[in-house]
Amino acid sequence: MAEIQDPTWKELLQQFKKGLEKAIDELEKRDAENIPGAKEALVQRLNNMKLHFPKNNGDIFIKSINDKIQNSFFPNTKNFSEAFDKILKSRTHEQDFIINELLNGFVTSKAKAIASGTQGPIINRMVEAFSKRNDFHIIDHQFYAMFGDPNKPRHYIKNQLEELVKMFGLVSKELVVKKDVRKSEEKVYTFYTFPDDIIEILEEKYLIINEELGYAYVSDAFDRNVFICMFLANVSINRDDLEKIGGSYTINGISAIFALILLLSFMPKLSVDETNPILNDPNFDADNMSVIPKSWMMRQVLEPLFEPLIKIIAYRLGGGLWLTKIIDSEINKKIINQIRFLLKDVNKWILGELVRVEIPIFVEIANIFTEIVVGYDES
């Protein structure tokens, strides 16, 4: 009920409505579609959105963002393991592309991003380092030996490990050996592992623990996306601490990708003529793909839609704090420009037509919209 009086939310819904009107205007001027009726279907969908979205205090947005997007990729909790568990559960082969893109999105929206340059492959190294041992720990010296470069000072690899530990929220334990074998000097080994509650979640599918032997093996399913899920969980629980999550670029990157997911879910499915070559293309699978209009991708249409949509997402995810961090300038337009071409494995081109792969998140959000529209028509 509090949200009914929330003037910011009301204003954002208004802005989106205005954005829809502008986008419809722009659409009327141009036609980039090859499929007859595609433009009309899109215009009708945008009109429907204009009609239904502001209703019940923006119920469709609240349900789509709070229940679906947050639950799958950015859980609204302060509990790290709960957040991690939810993200991990939303993994499917195709949704992994989104999880990857959320990490890559930071790379493109930020010059010195968290996983840019050499850090991407380092995530693979972490997987390798954990896979190598049978106690599900990595030891600092083992990590240095595996990945250190003899031609470079040790502090490079030390810094890399520290950064990774921070990024993934690993926990450490120290083991002091009074006399080491080589120099008979005291030596401190640091073991890193996942927090206990995370290990519990990983058990069964990703981690096989044998209590009798005291061993913990990683299974074949344990891959780099497990770490990316941890990274996302870390960002989601620390959403109020801008410094911890990498500042405004992270916020803009995350909000923009979620805005793209939302928009893609609302796109209408087009029926194509049975002679359309796309139906014979081996890359098109009619069972889990739909052809959608492509004109929304035109800069002139996308900008008025995306600007308020990114703000809506930011406000729902991080409240006023996030909203104030959305860059409202030319840079935002550039971010919008690059975001529209992301998610290329689930928002892909086949013979010049835009195709949406019907992954769970798209289907669930689309269903919310359909339910509300059908309910309205019936009443």
* Site residues (vs other proteins, CB under 8 A): 30, 32, 34, 93, 104, 107-111, 117-118, 120-121, 123-128, 131-132, 146-147, 149-151, 210, 212-213, 215, 217, 223-224, 277, 281-283, 294, 297-298, 331, 334-335, 337-338, 340-341, 344-345, 348-354
Mark 17-31 as b/e (b = at least 16 C-beta within 10 Å).
Answer: bebbebbbebbeeee
To the nearest whole angstrom, how small is the minimum distance from the Cβ of residue 95 to other proteins?
A: 13
Identify whether the C-beta of residue 143 lies closer than 8 Å to the C-beta of residue 162.
no
Taking the complex as a whole, how short is the minimal distance between the CB of residue 46 and other proteins, in angstroms?
Answer: 18
Nearer to other proteins, 184 or 329 (CB): 329
Taking the complex as a whole, how short is the minimal distance between the CB of residue 115 and other proteins, in angstroms?
10
Question: Of the two residues 12 and 264, which places its CB atom closer to other proteins in the complex?
Answer: 264
Nearer to other proteins, 198 or 354 (CB): 354
**Quick one: 56 or 118, whose CB is closer to other proteins?**
118
Tokens matching residue 249: 């670029």
Least gap, CB of 110 to other proteins (angstroms): 8
Residue 28 identity (one-letter amino acid): E
Q: Smallest distance from the beta carbon of 297 to other proteins, in angstroms? A: 6
Which positions ≥6 away from 195 have C-beta within 8 Å? 80, 81, 169, 170, 171
Minimum CB distance to other proteins smaller for 235 or for 256? 256
State the DSSP string of 183-249: T---EEEEEEE--HHHHHHHBTTTEEEETTTTEEEE-TT--HHHHHHHHHHHHHHTTT-HHHHTHHH
Tokens representing 65 are 């963002």
Least distance in Å: CB of 63 to other proteins?
A: 30
Instruction: State which residue, 44 or 124, has the beta carbon closest to other proteins.
Output: 124
- Three-state DSSP at 345 gives coil
Which amino acid belongs to residue 110? K
